[in-house]
């Protein structure tokens, strides 16, 4: 069984399939002000859509800090994304994971777009 740290690293690192088995059937993924998804299938569908979009370009992390303790984990990241047309986007994010009995019961994701020029 994967640890909370490993699950958080996989999910926040866009290696979603590694985390799917560790999602509770009633997992809730919230991005305040943007969306709330409830249920494993809804979360998996969103992840698969994200992977389809990411496959059209490249993504790399300039920052990726994981903190995990007990039934909680958090990932603070800055990702640089380049789409098929060469457009660059930079996103700072913080994902907070809550676990119960070794499975993810809640994910809260905070994101903000940054100016790529500010990250030289």
CA distance 45 to 76: 23
Contact 99, 105 (CB under 8 A): yes
- pLDDT, tens digit (0-9, with 9 covering 90-100), for 27-36: 999 999 999 9
Would you state the structure tokens that stand for residue 89, as one six-digit string? Answer: 């986007």
- pLDDT, tens digit (0-9, with 9 covering 90-100), for 16-65: 999 999 999 999 999 999 999 999 999 999 999 999 999 999 999 999 99
Contact 23, 103 (CB under 8 A): yes
Question: CA separation (Å) from 104 to 44, 72, 78, 111?
Answer: 13, 9, 23, 20
pLDDT above 70: residue 102: yes
Which domains can be identified in the chain, with CATH numbers?
Answer: 4-118 (3.10.450.50)
CA distance 99 to 16: 16
- The overall longest dimension of the chain from CA atoms, in Å, is 44
Q: What percent of the chain has pLDDT over 90?
A: 92
What pTM did the predictor assign? 0.94
């Amino acid at each position: 069984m994967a640890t909370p740290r490993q699950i958080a690293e996989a999910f926040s690192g866009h290696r979603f399939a590694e985390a799917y088995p560790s999602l509770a059937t009633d997992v809730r993924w919230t991005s305040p002000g943007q969306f709330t998804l409830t249920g494993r299938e809804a979360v998996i569908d969103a992840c698969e859509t994200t992977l389809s979009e990411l496959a059209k370009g490249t993504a790399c992390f300039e920052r990726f800090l994981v903190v995990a303790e007990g039934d909680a984990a958090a990932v603070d990241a800055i990702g640089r994304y380049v789409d098929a047309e060469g457009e660059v986007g930079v996103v700072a994010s913080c994902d907070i994971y809550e676990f119960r009995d070794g499975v993810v019961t809640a994910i809260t994701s905070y994101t903000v777009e940054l100016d790529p020029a500010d990250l030289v």
